Amino acid sequence: MRRRVRFLVPLVLLCLSACGPGFASSRFEASIEEWTIDGNLDDRTPTYVETGGSPGGHICITDANNPAGTVYFVAPPRYLGNVERQVYGARFTFDMKTSGQFMTLQGRDVLLNGSGLSASLDLRAIPSLDWTPFSVRIDANNSGWVDDSPENRGQPASEELLRTILRNLNSVRIRAEYLMSSRSTTCLDNVAFGTP
Ligand SMILES: [Ca+2]
């Protein structure tokens, strides 16, 4: 028994740094976990849904009538701050589904803001009607991140740009609107930020 404990302790310590769900994560098993909405909806709070997630609880945004502007899921404060060491080169993973597949919108799907700079990523895929996993690597090596600052918009994001944003990260947003129809619902679950 003692030998087994000696073996398990280093394994657990190793897992604390490499096997966990990431620097910050959201499973939504009991609440919306402080996620909010950015965009021109009156409501700033996503809807909490207890079952049917990926798995269990999850959050949704219904865009009832929003002809202009885009709505986003906004991560809570525990995702923010100086996260360069934990997040640069790591992955951002989440599961999403949306309520239709007709007249879909392409565009800026994941946005990071910090240090007065911004970067965005086009996922190049639309969530399906069922839970769809997304995995995004946060680095400058062909990962698809572009500079989202007005003067450089669309240029590939450099490593320095991404690292500077992550040193003082003040906003993490995921697009919550993929349909041109007047009413759509997009749901989010299983978020892990800075996962190996
Ligand atoms: Ca869940």
Is residue 159 one of the residues assigned to a domain? Answer: yes
Position 5 scores a pLDDT of 45
Mean pLDDT by 10 residues, the chain (196 residues): 46 43 91 93 90 97 74 96 96 94 78 96 91 96 90 92 98 90 88 94
Position 66 scores a pLDDT of 58
Rounded to the nearest angstrom, the distance between the alpha carbon of 17 and the centre of ligand 1 is 23
Identify the CA nearest to 157 among candidates 149, 114, 108. 149
CA dist., res. 165 & res. 84, Å (int): 8
Rounded to the nearest angstrom, the distance between the alpha carbon of 53 and the centre of ligand 1 is 5
CA dist., res. 107 & res. 115, Å (int): 23
195 in helix, strand or coil?
strand
* Contact yes or no for 107/122 (Cβ under 8 A): yes
Rounded to the nearest angstrom, the distance between the alpha carbon of 132 and the centre of ligand 1 is 13
Rounded to the nearest angstrom, the distance between the alpha carbon of 134 and the centre of ligand 1 is 15
For residue 7 the two structure tokens come to 């073996």
Rounded to the nearest angstrom, the distance between the alpha carbon of 27 and the centre of ligand 1 is 4
Q: Which domain holds residue 181?
A: 21-195
pTM metric for this prediction: 0.87
Is residue 9 one of the residues assigned to a domain? Answer: no
CA dist., res. 148 & res. 60, Å (int): 26
Rounded to the nearest angstrom, the distance between the alpha carbon of 51 and the centre of ligand 1 is 8
Cβ count near 102 (within 10 Å) = 7
Cis omega (within 30 of 0) for bond into 76: no
Is residue 62 one of the residues assigned to a domain? Answer: yes
Task: Provide the CATH number for the domain around residue 37.
Answer: 2.60.120.260
Rounded to the nearest angstrom, the distance between the alpha carbon of 93 and the centre of ligand 1 is 13
Rounded to the nearest angstrom, the distance between the alpha carbon of 2 and the centre of ligand 1 is 37
Number of domains in the chain: 1
Is residue 1 one of the residues assigned to a domain? Answer: no
DSSP string, 121-171: E--SS---SS-EEEEEE-SSSSS--EE-STTTTTSBPPHHHHHHHHHTEEE
Is residue 10 one of the residues assigned to a domain? Answer: no
CA dist., res. 146 & res. 55, Å (int): 32
Rounded to the nearest angstrom, the distance between the alpha carbon of 26 and the centre of ligand 1 is 8
Rounded to the nearest angstrom, the distance between the alpha carbon of 179 and the centre of ligand 1 is 23
Is residue 191 one of the residues assigned to a domain? Answer: yes
Is residue 61 one of the residues assigned to a domain? Answer: yes
Rounded to the nearest angstrom, the distance between the alpha carbon of 28 and the centre of ligand 1 is 5
Is residue 5 one of the residues assigned to a domain? Answer: no
Rounded to the nearest angstrom, the distance between the alpha carbon of 112 and the centre of ligand 1 is 23
Rounded to the nearest angstrom, the distance between the alpha carbon of 4 and the centre of ligand 1 is 33
Position 11 scores a pLDDT of 42
CA dist., res. 146 & res. 120, Å (int): 5
DSSP string, 15-74: HHHHTSS-SEEE--SSS-TT-EEESS-S--SPEEEEEEETTEEEEEEEESS-SSS--EEE
Position 102 scores a pLDDT of 72
Rounded to the nearest angstrom, the distance between the alpha carbon of 98 and the centre of ligand 1 is 16
